[in-house]
Every structure is written in C-alpha cells, then in structure tokens.
C-alpha cells in the first residue's frame, strides 16, 4: 500500500515570502528631529523581504543597539530589546511608504529619538501590492513526481514499480499564523515499469485532511507547525489495500532563508483502523519523512522540489504486507 501523503501544499505556502526580485523594502532615516539621532543603532540588513499572511503584508526589521539601553519604544509602544541589544520589529506594509519613530533611553538616562521610513526598494514592482489582492486565506498547489513503490505481501510475489504520481492540495488559513486547515490528494496516474512476474500493478488514490497549529511562527526564521488529521487510501490496481483510513500526526519544520527561499521538512505517523488485527502501533501504521526546497517565482507563486520516503506495515487477519515508497516531486503554488 502506497500510503505517503504529499506535503507539497505545506511546503509551498508555509513560508510565503514574496518574490525576492520584487517585493522588498529598505529603511532610511528621516531628518525630522534636527540635532537628534541614535548613533549607536545599526540595522542588520539594508533590504528586507515582504512576507504575507491572510490579512496583511509585513516586513521584519532587524536592528541592534551597540550600547546598553534602559528602554526603547517604537511609535510609543514598548520595543523588546534582548540582552545583546538586538531587536526585531514587525511592520505592516501595504505598498506605500510607512514611517515610525524610535525613542531610546541609554544607561545614563539620556534620550535619543529619530524617525525612519520604510519604502519600496524598487517602487515599480512593489506597486503590485497596492493594485492587487495579495493576501488570500486560500492557497492552492499542484504538482507531479516520479515514485518508486516496493511492495511485499505474504504468499504473493514481491515486486517494484515506477509510477508517475500527480497531486493537488489546498490550505485555508482559518486563524492566520495560528491555525491552518488543509486537504491534499494524490493518484498514481501512470505506471511506467514493473518487475512483477505475474503482471501485478499498484495505483493508489490518497486523500488527506488535516488541521495545523503553529507552535512557532514569524518573525522567527524557524517555523514549527503540529498537524493532526485523517487519511483515506484506496487501491485501483491488481494488488494493494482497499478503503484504508485512520488518524495521523505530523510535525512540520520550515526554515526561511534571507533570500526568501525556504527549507521544509516533516515527519509523520499514521495509524490504520481498517482491516487490522487487534491494535498494534508497530504493525498497522505508516511512518514517513520528507524534505522540500521552496522558492518564489513571482509575487504570488512559489516552486517546490523535494523528496518523500514512507513505509507502511499492515497485519491483516490472514496476511501481512509492507510497502516502501520513494518519491521525487516538483510543484507550484498559487
């Protein structure tokens, strides 16, 4: 039974950093307060990428005070500063120039103040934010890949098969940056080759529904989501398991790079409720791991390439079977 569920949609949408060739901003001083400024403030980068949630575009502005400060505010709100003087300020960005005022008190109780502006690093491209609806609750994906299926079953000749697998998925951001709802499906569409001595073949349709809770999210570069859900698989080939279903759990890890690209990985455990003999978390289950590399190709679309590995083990009333799958896939989100 080929039980792996492709996680293309999660890989492509989870770190929805905008196109690094278009949507990025820069921070500049505004000479509003004559004779003032914050000489011991340094910005980590000159250019910051714009990220997106269902409701808002934003940039994470990173800076550091080189001297000890007693307090700091941004537009009158307390700015959290770490022991080494670094801070992370999240600014909403709608495509128009945005300003903010930093007020800092140093260790000698001297007050410093300066106004800064955040503006498009390339205004013509940034205009796409203002002129189009870039903040969607829905995210869709489609892709295809090459899958190697290795099938083993009691009293049945073992064989390996290569297939073209297609997949599609959607994610709904129910509570932005907190809770996602997702639905994925795959189908072993086109068998390419098989070494079965009796002509057996495998073609599975799989459907996966999940809810994902964000444990760690922006502005952290590392994002962690815990998913729980339910799966259904059915074989349309000459061998395999029909109408399989059960619960599953899957933590996901995403690391967003400075250039807007992201690395996505996951592990999964799924238990089989159908056709099993007793309760065995070891014998009636699927375990899977995967890793994907995602990068933007426009302000709305991302490409993803990756590998997925899974092993399914089942013990039925009169037989046992195992399936290993190895998949290389690519897809696009929109």
CA gap 126, 51 in Å, rounded: 12
Report whether pLDDT(18) > 50: no
Bridge partners for 205 per DSSP: 187, 234
Locate 40 and state its tokens: 């011991």
Distance of CA 235 to the CA centre of its chain: 29
Tell whether the model's pLDDT for residue 241 goes beyond 70.
Answer: no
Q: Give Cβ neighbours of residue 181 (< 8 Å, ≥ 6 apart).
A: 171, 172, 174, 210, 211, 212
Highest mean pLDDT among 51-65, 179-193, 314-328: 179-193
Tell me, yes or no, if the pTM score tops 0.85: no
For β-strands 320-333 and 69-74, DSSP reports them as unpaired
Decide if pLDDT at 87 tops 80. yes
Structure tokens at 285: 């289950």
Q: DSSP alpha helices (H): ranges in the chain? A: 8-13, 123-131
Q: Which domains does the chain have, with CATH numbers?
A: 8-17+134-333 (2.40.128.100), 24-131 (2.60.40)
Q: Which of 14-18, 43-47, 272-276 has the lowest mean pLDDT?
A: 14-18
């Amino acid at each position: 039974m080929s039980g792996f569920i492709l996680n293309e949609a999660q890989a492509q949408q989870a770190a929805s950093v905008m196109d690094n060739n278009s949507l990025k901003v820069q921070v500049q001083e505004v000479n509003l307060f004559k004779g003032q400024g914050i000489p011991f403030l340094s910005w980590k980068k000159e250019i910051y990428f714009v990220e997106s949630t269902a409701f808002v575009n934003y940039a994470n502005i990173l800076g550091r005070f080189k001297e000890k400060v007693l307090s700091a505010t941004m537009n009158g709100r307390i700015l959290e500063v770490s022991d080494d003087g670094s801070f992370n300020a999240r600014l909403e960005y709608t495509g128009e120039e945005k300003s903010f005022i930093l007020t800092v008190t140093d260790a000698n109780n001297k007050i410093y103040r300066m106004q800064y502006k955040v503006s498009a690093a390339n205004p013509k491209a940034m205009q796409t934010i203002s002129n189009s609806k870039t903040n969607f609750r829905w995210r869709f994906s489609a892709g295809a890949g090459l899958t190697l299926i290795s099938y083993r079953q009691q009293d049945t000749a073992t064989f390996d098969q290569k297939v073209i697998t297609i997949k599609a998925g959607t994610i709904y951001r129910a509570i932005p940056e907190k809770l996602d709802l997702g639905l994925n499906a795959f189908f072993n569409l086109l068998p390419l080759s098989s070494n079965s001595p009796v002509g057996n073949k495998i073609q599975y349709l799989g459907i996966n529904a999940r809810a994902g809770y964000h444990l760690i999210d922006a502005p952290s570069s590392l994002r962690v989501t815990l998913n729980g859900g339910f799966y259904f698989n059915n074989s349309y080939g000459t061998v395999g398991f029909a109408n399989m279903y059960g619960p599953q759990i899957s933590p996901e890890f995403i690391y967003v790079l400075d250039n807007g690209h992201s690395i996505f990985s996951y592990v999964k455990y799924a238990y089989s409720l159908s056709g099993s003999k007793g309760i065995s978390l070891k014998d009636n289950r699927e375990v899977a791991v995967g890793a994907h590399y995602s990068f933007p190709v426009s302000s709305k679309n991302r490409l993803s390439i990756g590998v997925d590995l899974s092993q399914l083990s089942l013990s039925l009333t009169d037989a046992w079977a195992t399936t290993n799958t190895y998949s290389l896939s690519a897809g696009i989100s929109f």
